[in-house]
Structure 1
Amino acid sequence: MQILVTGGAGFIGSHIVDALLEEGHHVVVVDDLSSGREENLNPAARFYHMDICSSELEGVFRDEKVELVVHHAAQIDVRHSVASPGEDARINIQGLLNLLQNGLRHGLKGFIFASSGGVVYGEPERMPVTEDFPKGPLSPYGVSKLSSEFYLYYYARVHGLPYIALRYGNVYGPRQDPHGEAGVVAIFGQKMLRGETPTIYGDGEQLRDYVYVGDVVRANLLALRKIMNGINLQPVDGIDALAYNIGTGLGTSVNELFRLLADITGYTGRVVYGPERTGELKRIYLDAARAARELDWKPQVDLREGLKRTVAHLAQKL
């Protein structure tokens, strides 16, 4: 297939590009390199240095005859979304609509969307969280992810565009940026390898569902297969019908994550505790039973093994 991967120079997107190329697809990457890196780009993919909101995007759809979009380009900084909700909406909502409108004009056959199981549900009352749990995003970033799923639902029901939304847990692994707020594994790992002191915000008992990037890539490939097979792709029961939690079903505290990484890196220094971040969720981990049933997906890399692979990659970059 002719597949467009937005954000294909980024952490998750670049791994997906590699896997799609290995499966024999023709891959086009659109990335403005605001957070993606040129070193992540696979030379076998055709690269367009472009904002997803650009009017020039139509030329990519036309010239490359794009059949399917895997959408990972986004503004992902929760604190930035709070400070600049308009900018968050421009990138995450207007950018999505630019892709969808151009897709309609040029015969797009399917759309895979990187949503977030960490923000669309808000502060859940029971764990692990299933896809039909009430939604209550607590940041503009979460609102933009949930809004995007509603737009996809509309395009599916009214225009017949098949889609799948993958609600990721906390994705980690090689190529994760240690300089952003979302990459706690990379941040802690790099500091420990350098002998620097990591900071835990709050009491460290916040629970998160850490899922390895290789498992996330596999979820995208299985979603692609489902779309290509055209089975049960009408979301007649609302946005949750074609949404899949991609997580391990296990909650790991930041304190436990620190202990695991310290053991793997050999770090013997201390940790500093900083003030709790406003709006940060106390706990979230995901029930991925639907992905197991309908996509034949289950996580294969446990946390310790995934952390070891991540630390080995970080060590190479020092």
Structure 2
Amino acid sequence: MDILVTGGAGFIGSHVLEKLQKVSEQSAEDIKVVVLDDLSNGSREHVPSGMELVVGDVRNRNVVEDVFSRHHFSAVIHLAAQTMVPVSVENPLLDCQVNLGGILRILEACRKWQVPHVLFSSSAAVYGDNLHIPLKESEPLCPMSPYGITKMTTEQYMRVYHELYGLDATVFRFANVYGERQGEKGEGGVVSIFCKLLSQGNPITVYGDGNQTRDFVYAGDIASAIVQALPLTGYHTINVSTGTETSINDLIRSFERAIGHKAEVQYASPRPGDIQRSVLSNKELIQTLHIKPEMTLEQGIARTYTWYKHPM
């Protein structure tokens, strides 16, 4: 079985590659993994030996067609994306070009070379500031940022390609993902930002009063869900979340337990496009894939902070 992972050298991608490698080692099935990544946010070191790394832009027709022509993929895990909400607010055109241009190039290649299954990394951002929490997959979508719009639009492309061309399509709506290797070449999420600052002995900045909430899910649990979904057929939309609402102030307290002392916190004005409350239901995840996130926030924060303090 050949699997293409776009953006596989990045943060979430690196965890997916680790999981695929373990599955390959533990099973009798021969799994060959190809990684397509332009390395703008990823690193060669994240790609295990034995996996093919193709350095290139997912929007580049020649690069994509060369990869697909040389392999008979059973599935494509599409993680390549512009992932930062603030960047999308500042530069919506770039966000659109990367996120929509990339997925359309992949979907067209899958249609041409008859790849049966595409798995896509969507986001809780598609829900917008919806207080009907925990948010189920059936909730109306109302993104508050260009980033959320491109994720929502990609979901619709996935649905249409399934209905028109018979492509099996799995959409994962990730909650707030954190873990080792996040933000190595960019701003990253709030957990990675806090990790960097606290590991250097610097104060952290909270945009807003700190009562805004998120559903923090460990990247290794995200990877488990993606790999578990490889055999799925049809069209599926699945939240990947803990189902637990955690305030930024509570997150800071978890960090303080990890570092062993109080953190210096500075509060600033809220940023445009940020959501006040967010927590996702994981009932569909449990029902469809028969798994749920295993990593607790306390364990995950301690593990992630330790990695940032002593990266390997």
TM-score, structure 2 as length reference: 0.94
User: What secondary structure does 1:97 align onto?
Assistant: helix
Match of 1:168 in 2: 174
User: What secondary structure does 1:100 align onto?
Assistant: helix
Match of 2:51 in 1: 45
User: Measured at CA, do residues 178 and 258 of structure 1 come closer, stay the same or move farther in structure 2, by a change above 3 Å?
Assistant: farther
Aligned residue pairs total 305
CA offsets per residue over residues 261-283 of structure 1, 9 Å max, x none? 01111243421111211121001
Q: Distance in 2 between matches of 1:67 and 1:210?
A: 31
User: What secondary structure does 1:224 align onto?
Assistant: coil
Amino acid at match of 1:6: T
- Counterparts of residues 104-253 of structure 1 (less than 5 Å): 104-117=111-124, 119-177=125-183, 180-225=186-231, 227=232, 230=233, 233=234, 235=235, 242-253=236-247
CA offsets per residue over residues 27-81 of structure 1, 9 Å max, x none? 0000111111222222221001100000121010011222210010000111211
Q: Distance in 2 between matches of 1:190 and 1:75?
A: 21
Match of 1:70 in 2: 77
Q: Which moved more, 1:249-258 or 1:13-22?
A: 13-22
Amino acid at match of 2:4: L
Is 2:284 the counterpart of 1:290? yes
Q: Which moved more, 1:253-262 or 1:32-41?
A: 32-41
Q: Distance in 1 between matches of 2:213 and 2:276?
A: 6
Is 2:20 the counterpart of 1:14? no
Match of 1:99 in 2: 106
Q: Which runs of 5+ in 1 are unaligned?
A: 236-241
Q: Give me the identity figure in percent.
A: 37
Match of 2:28 in 1: none
User: Measured at CA, do residues 195 and 2 of structure 1 come closer, stay the same or move farther in structure 2, by a change above 3 Å?
Assistant: same
User: Measured at CA, do residues 269 and 113 of structure 1 come closer, stay the same or move farther in structure 2, by a change above 3 Å?
Assistant: closer
CA deviation after TM superposition for structure 1 residue 314, in Å = 1.1
CA offsets per residue over residues 202-248 of structure 1, 9 Å max, x none? 101110000011111110011113x2xx4xx1x4xxxxxx1001101
Is 2:275 the counterpart of 1:281? yes
Q: Distance in 2 between matches of 1:208 and 1:311?
A: 19
User: What secondary structure does 1:67 align onto?
Assistant: strand
Q: Which runs of 5+ in 2 are unaligned?
A: 25-30
Q: RMSD over aligned Cα, in angstroms?
A: 1.4
